[in-house]
Amino acid sequence: MRVVLQRVSEASVTIEGEKVSAINKGLLVLLGIEDADSTEDIEWLTGKITKLRIFGDEEGVMNLSIQDVSGDVIVVSQFTLHAATKKGNRPSYIKAAKPDVAIPLYESFINSMETVLGKKIQTGRFGADMKVTLVNDGPVTILIDSKNRE
């Protein structure tokens, strides 16, 4: 699994003109799932994201996690995070999981985040054409790949 985490002061997802989710202070999580991903990736990634100290403390030092600041989270499926761009000019998405594999893992990831954070996670809609807006706070943007743990 690959994620792009963006620390935001606000973010929202709109589908077909309807705002389906919105948060204030927190994280926008763009989640890419590949065929090789499993519940082990979900557990590791959930732990990493929820404990990652990327929010400022009282002195402005990035020393607090999403849990520490009681921030909100939006998770948006993003298969293009697994784009292979080595050859040619058209990205290949061969490693990106098909919906029959990706949807259950996406839902499990959201459930895992809700369990750890003890709150509802906002989402986009898997496979939909979404308009994602955000105000990146910092800016702080972090890339994490569960296959690069060491």
In a domain, residue 124? The reply is yes
- What is the domain range of residue 26? 2-145
CATH number at residue 82: 3.50.80.10
Q: How far apart are CA 97 and CA 95, in angstroms?
A: 6
* Assigned domain for 150 exists: no
Name the pTM for this structure.
0.94
- What's the mean pLDDT when you consider all of the chain? 96
Catalytic residues: 78-80
pLDDT of residue 107: 97
Question: CA separation (Å) from 15 to 44, 64, 133?
Answer: 30, 32, 12
pLDDT, mean of residues 102-123: 97
Look at residue 66 and tell me if it is in a domain: yes
At 3-36, the pLDDT tens digits run 999 999 999 999 999 999 999 999 999 999 999 9
How far separated are the first and last CA of the chain, in Å rounded? 15
114 is a domain residue: yes
- Judged against a pLDDT cut of 80, whether residue 150 lies above it is answered with no
| Residue 141 is assigned to a structural domain of this protein | yes
The domain total for the chain is: 1
- Least trusted range by pLDDT, from 22-31, 81-90, 116-125: 81-90
